[in-house]
């Protein structure tokens, strides 16, 4: 009996692992992007949709901040607003490393990472990529919902970035690239808004 229970537990773990890998492969194919593991992805120009169909998907913006003292930290959110039928999203951000430094939100793990947000529901998605490069000034972040989870609709924080201000002046965080897919693999068109940090 104990052996049978152990076998069933292992079988369930393998089923979950296979489902996770299948969802990840589907996301990568749908987005048509390659996620490197050693450093943040260099931003590239938006490309045509691999699936051949597009539809409106809402708005994405990076919060702005002012009055940040040199040497102090500030947290800005990457916000999705009025999202519709969202199933997976990949975003590449750029910042000036002379002004800002990303603070690691997962100490003890390899690389510098930002904090996953509360939208979509964190219980329903997995993080496919999360890495910041403080030398190059790049952040790459990607998530995908896991089937049979329903697509996300509405507004909320996709992720949070904790910056340390290194020098005085005005700078910002720019959305260099964003790719999003719906539950039907159609690409979602998102309007974008960059941040200003003073």
Q: 3-class secondary structure for 25-63?
A: HHHHHHHCCCCCCCCCCCCCCCCCCCCCCEEEEEEEEEC
pLDDT tens sequence across 57-100: 999 999 999 999 999 999 999 999 999 999 999 999 999 999 99
CA distances from 18 to 23, 33, 115, 122 (A): 9, 21, 26, 20
Confidence of residue 22 (pLDDT cuts 50, 70, 90): very low
Instruction: Kindly report, residue by residue over 28-45, the tens digit of the pLDDT.
Output: 444 444 333 334 444 433
Mean pLDDT of 170-184: 95
pTM beyond cutoff 0.85: no
Q: Which two tokens stand for residue 150?
A: 């329903």
pLDDT higher at 14 or 85:
85
pLDDT at 122 over 90: yes
pLDDT at 107: 84
Q: Which residue has the higher pLDDT, 27 or 169?
A: 169
How long, in residues, is the chain? 198
What's the CA gap between 53 and 58, in Å, rounded? 16
For residues 157 and 62, give the distance between their C-alpha atoms in angstroms, rounded to a whole number: 10
Specify which of 14-18, 25-29, 79-83, 147-151 reaches the highest per-range mean pLDDT: 79-83
């Amino acid at each position: 009996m104990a052996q049978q229970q152990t076998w069933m537990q292992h079988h369930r773990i393998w089923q979950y692992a296979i489902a996770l890998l299948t969802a990840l492969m589907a996301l990568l194919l749908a987005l048509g992007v390659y996620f490197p593991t050693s450093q943040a992805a260099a931003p590239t120009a938006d490309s045509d949709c691999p699936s051949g169909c597009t539809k409106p998907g809402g708005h994405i913006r990076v919060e702005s901040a002012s009055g940040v003292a040199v040497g102090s930290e500030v947290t800005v959110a990457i916000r999705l607003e009025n999202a519709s039928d969202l199933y997976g999203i990949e975003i590449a951000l750029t910042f000036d490393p002379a002004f800002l430094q990303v603070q690691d939100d997962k100490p003890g793990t390899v690389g510098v990472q930002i904090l996953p947000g509360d939208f979509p529901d964190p219980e329903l998605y997995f993080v496919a990529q999360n890495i910041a490069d403080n030398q190059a000034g790049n952040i790459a972040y990607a998530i995908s919902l896991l089937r049979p989870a329903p697509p996300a609709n509405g507004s909320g924080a996709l992720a949070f970035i904790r910056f340390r201000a290194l020098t005085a002046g005005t700078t910002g965080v720019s959305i260099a690239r964003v790719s999003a897919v719906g539950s039907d693999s159609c690409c979602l068109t998102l309007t974008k808004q960059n941040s200003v940090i003073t």
